[in-house]
Amino acid sequence: MNSFTSTSLSSSIALDFAGNGTGRPLIESVLFEIECPIKLSRKPYANIQEYSYLKTENEILFTIGTIFRIESVEQYTDDIWLVKLILCEDEINLIKDELKSEIDQTADILTLAKFLFEMDDLDKAEEFYTLILNELPYDHPDIITIKNDLGGIYREKGEYLKALKNHKQALKFHRLLMQYDFVQRSAIYNDIGF
């Protein structure tokens, strides 16, 4: 979920918010049933009933970035779908593992970051590239690719100064580590020019 998510312990209240199917075919009415094993939660969620304006809603609030696994999707009524979700334990590894299996069994986290970048999921790609960058030793050759791709992400976001900074860092590392790989160096210069 990419925003705070308000839920209720009461299925009848949730059904009121789900709609009645009149938006078809453009909008579907969906009731989400969420299972939340307490011991698995790394992302906070809380019962905010006592703080809520409408105390009868039995409201549970999930934080930004909470990830759920879809257990099933089934017809609840003629006009409403029931989607059963379960709170996931390790969001980053879950996404990485799911996408790795879709891309290739031998894919690594760098391939995953590139895949997200190509899919225009810029925020998630940036998150993965940063994660990798923090794990690599200072003189690892993948830093060149990571810095150059981060430059591309910032360029796509319109953050041109950050983009230029990362491209120049990629060029600096390239000169230090890969002195005779002129194909990669020309690609970096091309990105700087772009």
Domain 92-193 homologous superfamily, CATH:
Tetratricopeptide repeat domain (1.25.40.10)
pTM, to two decimals: 0.47
What pLDDT, on a 0 to 100 scale, did the predictor assign at position 170?
92
In terms of DSSP H, where are the helices of the chain? 11-18, 91-103, 109-118, 122-135, 142-156, 160-177, 182-193
pLDDT in tens, the chain (194 residues): 667 888 998 888 898 888 888 888 888 899 999 988 766 555 567 778 888 777 788 888 888 777 788 999 999 999 999 999 988 765 555 555 655 555 443 346 788 788 888 888 899 889 889 988 888 888 888 899 999 999 999 999 999 999 999 999 999 988 888 767 788 888 898 899 88
Tokens of 123: 């925020």
What pLDDT, on a 0 to 100 scale, did the predictor assign at position 128?
87
Residue 11 burial (CB count, 10 A): 13
**CA dihedral sign, ordered 21, 25, 29, 32:** positive
- Non-local CB neighbours of 125 within 8 Å, separated by 6+ positions: 113, 114, 116, 117, 149, 153
Q: Can you give the residue ranges of every domain in the chain?
A: 5-89, 92-193
